[in-house]
C-alpha cells in the first residue's frame, strides 16, 4: 500500500519509522511518503493560511498549495500503477473512525492524508479533491485537536497493522477489541501469582473449551460495563 501525507509539520511522522510500521516500510509492504505542504507555497514566507471570508477568529488554510500538492501526488499515481487514490482529510466534523473504517481503508491501494491546521482547510479543496479520488472527512472522536497530524498517525497505525504481513501473527488481529463488536477479554502472563493477585484458575486449567467460554463471558461483561453502546440494545439492557 502507498500512503502519502501532506502536513506543515512532517517531522510529526518520524515515529512511524519505528516498530511494526517501520519494519513494514523496510520490507516494502508499506510505501509511506510524508511531504511538507509548504513545498507548494511559493511566496517569500511560504504562506499556507489566510484570514476567513465573513470574519471570525483564526486563520484558514489557503486552497492553492493544497490544489498543487494534490495534483502532483494524485497525478503521479495516474501516470503509474494504481487507480484513483482515497483522499482522507482528518476533521472533527467528519464521520467517526472505527475499526470498520480501518478494515475498509486497509483494502485500498493508495491513501492520501491531508492534515489541516488553524481553523481548517478552505472548503473548496474537498470539492476539488473529489475529482481526483474518493474523499473522506474522518474524525478521531468528538473532541478538537490542534491539527490533523495526530489523527493521521492514529489512522495510519490502525490501518497499517491490518495490511497483510505487517503483524507477524495474523491470529492476534482476530481476537482484538472491536474486531467482533466487543471489547477484548483480560490478558495475563507469568507469574501466576503477583503481589497477592492470582490469575483466574480457568486459565491455568488447560481446558480449552472452558477458557474460550470464560473469555467470551468476560468480553460481554466488560463491554456491558464499559461500552454498553457497542451492544445490541437487548444485551445492554441486561446490565
SS3 state of residue 110: strand
Residue in the block written with cell 491539527: 147
Shortest Å distance, C-beta 54 to ligand SAM = 14
Q: Could you tell me if 38 and 6 are in contact, meaning their C-beta atoms sit under 8 angstroms apart?
A: no
**Looking at beta carbons only, is 24 or 105 nearer to ligand SAM?**
105
Q: Could you tell me if 42 and 72 are in contact, meaning their C-beta atoms sit under 8 angstroms apart?
A: no
Distance CA 127, CA 110 (A): 19
Shortest Å distance, C-beta 142 to ligand SAM = 7
Shortest Å distance, C-beta 152 to ligand SAM = 8
Distance CA 92, CA 105 (A): 19
Rg (CA), the chain: 22
**Looking at beta carbons only, is 119 or 134 nearer to ligand SAM?**
119
**Looking at beta carbons only, is 91 or 223 nearer to ligand SAM?**
91
**Looking at beta carbons only, is 147 or 186 nearer to ligand SAM?**
147
By CB under 6 A, name the binding residues for ligand SAM.
Answer: 90-93, 115-117, 119-120, 139-141, 143-148, 151
Shortest Å distance, C-beta 116 to ligand SAM = 2
Distance CA 148, CA 146 (A): 7
Distance CA 29, CA 45 (A): 37
**Looking at beta carbons only, is 8 or 41 nearer to ligand SAM?**
8
Shortest Å distance, C-beta 238 to ligand SAM = 32
Distance CA 67, CA 40 (A): 9
Amino acid at each position: 500500500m502507498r500512503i502519502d501525507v501532506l502536513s506543515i509539520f512532517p517531522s510529526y511522522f518520524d515515529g512511524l519509522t519505528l516498530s511494526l510500521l517501520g519494519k513494514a516500510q523496510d520490507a516494502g509492504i508499506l510505501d509511506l511518503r510524508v511531504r511538507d505542504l509548504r513545498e507548494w507555497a511559493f511566496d517569500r514566507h511560504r504562506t499556507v493560511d489566510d484570514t476567513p471570508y465573513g470574519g471570525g477568529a483564526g486563520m484558514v488554510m489557503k486552497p492553492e498549495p493544497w490544489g498543487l500538492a494534490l495534483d502532483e501526488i494524485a497525478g503521479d499515481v495516474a501516470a503509474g500503477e494504481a487507480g484513483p487514490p482515497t483522499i482522507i482529510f482528518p476533521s472533527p466534523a467528519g464521520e467517526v473512525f472505527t475499526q470498520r473504517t480501518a478494515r475498509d481503508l486497509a483494502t485500498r491501494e493508495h491513501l492520501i492524508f491531508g492534515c489541516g491546521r488553524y481553523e481548517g482547510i478552505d472548503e473548496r479543496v474537498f470539492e476539488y479533491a473529489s475529482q481526483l479520488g474518493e474523499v473522506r472527512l474522518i474524525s478521531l472522536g468528538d473532541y478538537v485537536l490542534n491539527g490533523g497530524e495526530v489523527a493521521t498517525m492514529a489512522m495510519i497505525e490502525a490501518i497499517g497493522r491490518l495490511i497483510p504481513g505487517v503483524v507477524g501473527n495474523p491470529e492476534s488481529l482476530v481476537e482484538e477489541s472491536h474486531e467482533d463488536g466487543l471489547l477484548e477479554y483480560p490478558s495475563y502472563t507469568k507469574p501466576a501469582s503477583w503481589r497477592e493477585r492470582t490469575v483466574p484458575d480457568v486459565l491455568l486449567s488447560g481446558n480449552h473449551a472452558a477458557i474460550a467460554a470464560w473469555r467470551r463471558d468476560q468480553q460481554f461483561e466488560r463491554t456491558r460495563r464499559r461500552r454498553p453502546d457497542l451492544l445490541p440494545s437487548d444485551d445492554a439492557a441486561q446490565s
